[in-house]
Chain A
């Protein structure tokens, strides 16, 4: 079969895209307020801003998922109106969403073929799609196996599928929504190579991020959004992280923490040769042993999907271990239920905070007392004491700077950062001796991250034992006294926090054993 008739209603190559005075309002929120943005062919534009600054909303309008209330989108100087993603795709725009838009029980090639016209309609032409897809992969040096299912792929690979999907559809301009959030440092490097290659091939790229060093490393120009407004667009020449952070947050930000010296106490949490299965009864944690002392933060670094989720759930009693032991202050809690962990002085900040951490349709006070609602001072003889509840919640909300109109606001109306601060406030006000914190600042803006980090360090100094599970190496390195690296359910090695380099950690995260990683360094 020859390469035949895979035709796309191809418009002109995008030389220049402009968004002018874009305004978009949602009930109660002005998400974009007269935002301007411009990108040229072959250029990488970084769109920088905190969570809730309106970056995603702006890009969804460019991709036809929303229509702007007012303002114009111009391609090569001509106005365009997108009513749906199809319109945007036809105009040569592709988008890679932060949460991948992949169908997990379809194969790579099926995901690429989805929605395309087939050369032998109504039947699928997966062979043709596969061949063309591999051509694209070769051009941009993307490694992919077209026959594998999405659920079998690592996150980095899934991202490549998204890129191929967009390129296959002839995207000239690619919107990348927080693309590095889920990648290892090595993967980020590879990814940047791909981006540069695409830019060389005269693609335009809009790179949404809140990670300052990445923005400085990759972009040609930076546009900063704050509270729905564009606060500036600068060429990437001689700009510093501090400048950008200040522009983004609107006030000076601390980027490096002063840590008090380690004051190690007795072992609080001990894990022995632990095996934990996933939902399909395959062991995702395979023989992990760890010891965490009071007064220390142990960082668990690793690419997502290497068993962190299962480990965190097992440690908090949400998932049964198939083998091994967990000791909390010397007591065997392997088979303990979550509430028993709570009673034993352990707190848990779950990775999926909206599913496991809070109840979205409950108000702040209700969420605050979830774990201890049946104890004094919140209730007595099963009757709530609303005065106490309100007082304690107010105190915690003030202490942790949760931004909310009032205590009776439903949690689903809070921003991600504030939800996380609320969870942290709840868990830390229980004065736990052990804290399992899974991705505590994922999707949280710099201001809130900074705040959360400071509180975790404060508790460390007070003697709490913390297991910090994170895919953000900067965070791990900034907070941890020791760093354990997990790969494929096993601990590859444990290194001293302050002396670990991100290069070495990156190698270990790819499964290279400690000694080898040290030699390579």
Chain B
């Protein structure tokens, strides 16, 4: 156990957690906007897979990482539009349509992978780490926090940005109102559908980028189903957060930290059965979910809005 408690190891674990949390942050902040507006998008996983593939493919063909992120965002937007049409315009059951979208996204990304890239595992040059001047030179802390690629930094910037949008802007006020009491918002001339479209599509763009982080900002390759359930964990993180951006950060870091910790413990030969180790992050998530009790749960979550109710 001693070899676990030296600063190098601990900050090594933290640094890895910081990277591992990146896709969760993009996907969960996107889902946070969806859910705050009262929509529940279980299609995140599928959107992420499509984002992962399109970003990879574009970077593989053009070598331009910016285009890759853009492609993931556009594909995310399109998938979001599908979700919005189904759940907002047609008012379909959101859980089922989300799962449908996930199956669609995962299936289509595999199909494209086979047709466009022959199903061959290839790699690209992804985003390079940037050491932030001065801060990056602080011993241990610099490596753990300030030596990552740009996509990681942006992921963390999303937290204050989301917080400002939700709590400091008129748009955020409308979003919160629409998720809590769409009727009230409607009577004040807020277009419930417009806000929900915006949030579902915006959330899907972030989910697309979350997928891109797998294929061009971390592992830098594409393989079928490579997001491996991250989208669902992101949905759980939103519940965990009690619909607060800062707590999304906390949840994502905690989850990633436990993951990084258990890998490190395995490497250090600290004897815990690997299956137990793997369960730790999920167990932790479930246990915390039991204790989440929030007045901020959007009261109209997953409830389609229809004006004609008396």
Contact = CB atoms under 8 A, between A and B. Distances in A.
Are A and B direct contacts in the complex by CB distance below 8 Å? yes
Interface of A: 56, 63, 65, 84-86, 89, 95, 97, 100-106, 110-111, 113-118, 121-124, 151, 165, 280
Contacts of A86: 189
Interface in B168-205: 168-174, 176-177, 180-181, 183-190
Interface stretch (B127-135, B265-273, B275-283, B292-300): B292-300
A86 B189 CA distance: 5
Given A101-B187, A114-B177, A122 B169 contact: yes
A100 B180 CA distance: 13
Contacts of A122: 169-171
Nearest to B186: A85
Contacts of B293: 280
A348 B293 CA distance: 29
The list of the 10 closest CB pairs from A to B, nearest first, reads A86-B189, A115-B188, A101-B184, A103-B177, A101-B187, A103-B180, A103-B181, A115-B190, A118-B170, A122-B169
B176 A105 contact: yes
B295 A280 contact: yes
A512 to B, nearest CB: 31
A97 B187 CA distance: 9
11 contacts: A65-B307, A85-B186, A85-B187, A89-B188, A89-B189, A101-B183, A113-B170, A114-B173, A114-B184, A117-B170, A123-B168
B228 interface: no
Contacts of B310: 56
B137 to A, nearest CB: 36
A370 B7 CA distance: 65
A110 B173 contact: yes
A468 to B, nearest CB: 28
A118 B170 CA distance: 7
A104 B299 contact: yes
B184 A102 contact: yes
A85 B307 CA distance: 12
Contacts of A63: 187
Contacts of A101: 181, 183-184, 187-188
Contacts of B186: 85
Given A65-B307, A105-B296, 11 more contacts: A101-B181, A101-B184, A102-B184, A104-B299, A106-B176, A111-B184, A121-B170, A122-B170, A123-B168, A124-B169, A124-B172
Secondary structure at the A interface, as helix, strand, loop or mixed, is loop
Nearest to B310: A56
A124 B187 contact: no
Contacts, number: 76
Nearest to B167: A124
Name the residue among B172, B181, B293 with the largest chain A CB count within 10 angstroms: B181
Given A89-B189, A114-B185, A280-B295, A106 B170 contact: no
Given A113-B173, A124-B170, A106 B180 contact: yes
A473 B122 CA distance: 77
Given A65-B307, A106-B180, A84 B295 contact: no
Interface string B133-172: 0000000000000000000000000000000000011111
Contacts of B187: 63, 65, 85, 95, 97, 101
Nearest to A116: B170
Nearest to A86: B189
A293 B310 CA distance: 40
B251 to A, nearest CB: 20
Contacts of A104: 180-181, 295, 299
Nearest to B165: A122
Contacts of A121: 170
A114 B184 CA distance: 9
A84 B189 contact: yes
A115 B169 CA distance: 11
A122 B173 CA distance: 11
A103 B185 CA distance: 8
B174 to A, nearest CB: 7
A248 B241 CA distance: 53
Contacts of B295: 104-105, 151, 280
A408 B299 CA distance: 33
B188 A124 contact: no
A123 B161 CA distance: 12
A86 B188 CA distance: 7
Contacts of B170: 113, 116-118, 121-124
Name the residue among A104, A106, A115 with the largest chain B CB count within 10 angstroms: A115
A89 B168 CA distance: 25
A85 B183 CA distance: 11
A117 B171 CA distance: 10
Given A106-B177, A151-B295, A115 B189 contact: yes
Name the residue among B169, B183, B188 with the largest chain A CB count within 10 angstroms: B188
Nearest to A110: B173
Nearest to B296: A105
A97 B309 CA distance: 13
